[in-house]
A = this chain, B = another copy of it.
Amino acid sequence: MSTPSPILIVGSMAFDDLDLPSGNARDVVGGSATYSALAASVFAPVRIVAVVGDDFPESTLDGLRARGIDTTGVERASGKTFRWAGRYDADLVHRTTLDTQLNVFADFKPKLPESVRATPLVLLGNIHPALQLDVLKQVDAPKLVVADTMNFWIMGEPQALAAMLARIDILIVNDEEARQLSGIHNIRRAAREILSRGPKRLVIKRGEHGALLFDEEGVFAAHGFPLEDEVDPTGAGDSFAGGFLGYLATQPLVTPLALRRAMVHGTATASFCVEAVGTTKVGSLSQSELETRVKAIRQLYEFGAHTM
């Protein structure tokens, strides 16, 4: 295994109030950048670019730094940190947003410190596509750019989104977003349409069912790991993205096989995320725990040699 390449992660840092079937949790540290950074830090050095308010504890940033995450790019703005409140149904699939307070995140204009501009791998978390592009302009010759987006930008910012899609290597969305973005229900056709807009590869997340990769080799399915204890799916998608890119950071080349293995590592990472509230599990994960789950996922599919 080669020395892992550093990863730049841009996105939100937040406090979440979560109404979960197992109980309510308040002021849970969350946000896409937090989950992705913790997940990716299992594999590689991470540099995070985000904004927090005066109310964000320095001790939490210390916790990130203890996981090998460079927080130089975390801007502390005057005001409150982004807050989200949501309630999950008993099935943990459907959720209702109860409250969103953008706070300091509303004026977030990512400025990359000089020290992180040369990061080879970039994960553009779910922020305005124009800001994602702006971040890209600040990075010196990135080797691989992965981006996430959401229905809000798909519906509201189609032009900025199109410009972003033309500049990235891999797009990660969920199945509903893929359908919205393409206007096509069939996942395979939707994928083809999206790939025609720029990204070389597309990952479609499907919650507990896992994720699909569409690339030059066709389609790859990373099955979700069926869990005994499903507690909190918040951040599972961001943890997937972090684990996915984290694994790629350990590989000398982004080959089709490396991408497939990255899919499985992403799925494994996401499965841990769901097992506890907030970042509890994904923030304390070891590489050996993760590899054990990757093995379990492999056994999930195993049906002997090619001759049947």
A201 within 8 A of B: no
**Cα separation A223 to B188 with both chains bound (whole Å):** 15
Interface bits A218-262 vs B (CB < 8 Å: 1, else 0)? 111101001111100000000000000000000000000100110
Instruction: State how many angstroms separate the Cβ of A88 from the closest Cβ of chain B.
Output: 12
Interface bits A248-287 vs B (CB < 8 Å: 1, else 0)? 0000000001001101100000000000000000000000
CB-CB under 8 A for A212 and B226, given A294-B308, A303-B261: yes
Whether A188 pairs with B304 at a CB distance below 8 angstroms is: no
A302 within 8 A of B: yes
**Cα separation A264 to B91 with both chains bound (whole Å):** 27
- Which B residues lie within 8 Å of A308 (CB)? 261, 294
Instruction: State how many angstroms separate the Cβ of A263 from the closest Cβ of chain B.
Output: 8
The size bracket of the interface on A is 35 or more
Whether B219 pairs with A188 at a CB distance below 8 angstroms is: no
Whether A219 pairs with B187 at a CB distance below 8 angstroms is: no
Interface centre among A186, A226, A303 (most CB of B within 10 A): A303
A306 within 8 A of B: yes
CB-CB under 8 A for A226 and B187, given A206-B209, A294-B308, A308-B294: yes
Whether A303 pairs with B264 at a CB distance below 8 angstroms is: yes
Q: Which of A93-143 contact B (CB under 8 A)?
A: none
CB-CB under 8 A for A90 and B298, given A223-B221, A261-B304: no
Whether B300 pairs with A221 at a CB distance below 8 angstroms is: yes
Q: Which residue from B188, B220, B221, B229 sits with its C-beta under 8 Å from A227? A: B188
A197 within 8 A of B: no
Instruction: State how many angstroms separate the Cβ of A233 from the closest Cβ of chain B.
Output: 13
Give chain A's interface residues, CB within 8 Å of chain B.
90-91, 185-189, 206, 209-210, 212, 218-221, 223, 226-230, 257, 260-261, 263-264, 294, 298-304, 306, 308
Interface centre among A185, A221, A261, A264 (most CB of B within 10 A): A221
Q: Which residue from B91, B210, B261, B300 sits with its C-beta under 8 Å from A219? A: B300
Whether A226 pairs with B230 at a CB distance below 8 angstroms is: no
**Cα separation A228 to B186 with both chains bound (whole Å):** 7
CB-CB under 8 A for A185 and B90, given A260-B303, A304-B261, A308-B261: yes
Whether B226 pairs with A188 at a CB distance below 8 angstroms is: yes
Whether A221 pairs with B212 at a CB distance below 8 angstroms is: no
- Which B residues lie within 8 Å of A188 (CB)? 226-228
- Which B residues lie within 8 Å of A227 (CB)? 186, 188
Closest 6 CB pairs of A and B: A260-B303, A221-B223, A209-B209, A301-B301, A221-B300, A188-B226
